[in-house]
Homo-oligomer: A and B are copies of this chain.
Amino acid sequence: MPNIKQIAKIAGVSVSTVSRVINHHAYVSEDKRRAVMEAIVQLNYSRNLNAVHLSKGTTNIIGVMVPSINHAYFSRLMEGISSEALMKDYQLMVCQTNYNPVSEGKVLDMLKMKQMDGIIIGSKTLAWEQIEPFTEYGPIVACEDAGTSAISSVYLDHYDCFRQGMRYLIERGHRQIGFCLGRADSANSLKRRRAYEDALAAIHEAVREEWMFYQCLRIEDGLAVVHQWLRMRERPTALLVTSDQVAAGIITEARKNGIRIPEDLAVIGFDNQPIAQVFDLTTIDNQLFEMGSAAFQMAYDHITKKRTKPENRELGYLLIERSTV
């Protein structure tokens, strides 16, 4: 592989002139520029990015920490990140962690090792205190509420959001309400559960453990929910489901079993994914794409020093009324 030195030699100039040409700097005479360009073509030259990165101390790479690449929620989020990265000519290093703390640590380490200029956290299991020290090495933006930590974040108020879902159901006469969440112990789940309990308390309904479904992450998880529902003596008349995929699974299996939606069972989904539209599913749009692009922008602004302090940006959400309630 030819290097800048050989180009310089052939073009009859110094390496700095070559560098200037490559980087489109001013103050290069037209004939030298041409000579360099010709040499570049002649030798089929390309810069060695590792050398560039080492020399500059930056990489134009953003790391994306997600538990799973193949999950509608993160796919949509990454799409938002990617669209913004594409415009700014940044590359994405997608790191699948499977919620493994060791894997998550490795991603943080890569920031320290200057492999990437910043990190966007889609979701994680590590505590904020374990992540915080790494902000020294570059911006870290979380796509969830980072609480009082010094980590930037784009998030929405899941308590509020869940409360609104509950309110909507209650206003339509439901009192027996259940929910489907993902990880039982995640911060978001905890908030949602609190919202759920508060909402029930407000209408003097007791909380029932058996109406709370956890580990509902994918479309197929909806099936088990329906079967459990069928086995119950007392059944919830409505379900707040924090994933359109799971909601779609529930609806499909429900219909197969002759359960009428929403008459027998009302369902509210989350995310407003395309599948929600197809199912005519009432859902809460939590702006995943926008969250992704906002996260990238935030990281970008920090890298380019447009900002220095951590930011916390709350996004809105929108209840989309369709036919499953």
Interface residues of A (CB under 8 A from B): 1, 46-51, 53-54, 59, 61, 68-71, 75-76, 78-79, 82-83, 86, 91-96, 103, 109-110, 112-115, 218-220, 222-223, 248-249, 252-253, 255-256, 274-275, 277-280
Closest-CB distance, A6 to chain B (whole angstroms): 16
A117 to chain B, nearest CB (A): 11
Q: A222 — which chain B residues lie within 8 A by C-beta? A: 278
Chain B residues closer than 8 Å to A1, beta-carbon distance: 114
A64 CB to nearest B CB, Å: 8
Structural contact, A46 and B220, CB atoms closer than 8 A: no
List the B side residues contacting A71 at CB < 8 Å.
Answer: 75
Docked complex Cα distance between A68 and B54 (Å): 30
Contacts A50-B114, A93-B94, A255-B255 known; 6 new A-B pairs at CB < 8 A: A49-B115, A51-B54, A68-B79, A69-B75, A69-B78, A92-B94
The one of B54, B83, B219, B256 that contacts A54, using a Cβ cutoff of 8 Å: B54
Chain B residue numbers with a CB within 8 Å of A103 are 86
Tell me whether A278 and B219 are in contact (CB under 8 A).
yes
Give the residues in chain B near A109, CB-CB below 8 Å.
46
A200 and B246 CA atoms in complex are apart in Å by 39
Q: Is the CB of B91 within 8 A of A86?
A: no
Q: In whole Å, how far is A242's beta carbon from the nearest beta carbon of chain B? A: 18
In the A-B complex, list the 9 residue pairs whose CB atoms are closest, starting with the nearest. A70-B79, A50-B54, A70-B75, A50-B53, A49-B113, A49-B115, A94-B94, A46-B112, A82-B96
- Between A49, A54, A79, A109, the greatest number of chain B beta carbons within 10 A of the residue's beta carbon is seen for A49
What is the chain B residue whose CB lies nearest that of A98?
B86
Given B68, B86, B278, which contacts A249 in the complex, CB threshold below 8 Å? B278
Query: What are 8 A-to-B residue pairs whose CB atoms are below 8 Å?
Result: A46-B109, A47-B113, A50-B59, A69-B75, A75-B75, A78-B94, A91-B95, A248-B278
* Shortest beta-carbon distance from A18 to chain B in Å: 15
Specify which chain B residues have a CB less than 8 angstroms from the CB of A47 in the assembled complex: 113
CA distance A49 to B93 in the complex (A): 14
Most buried by B among A69, A115, A256: A69
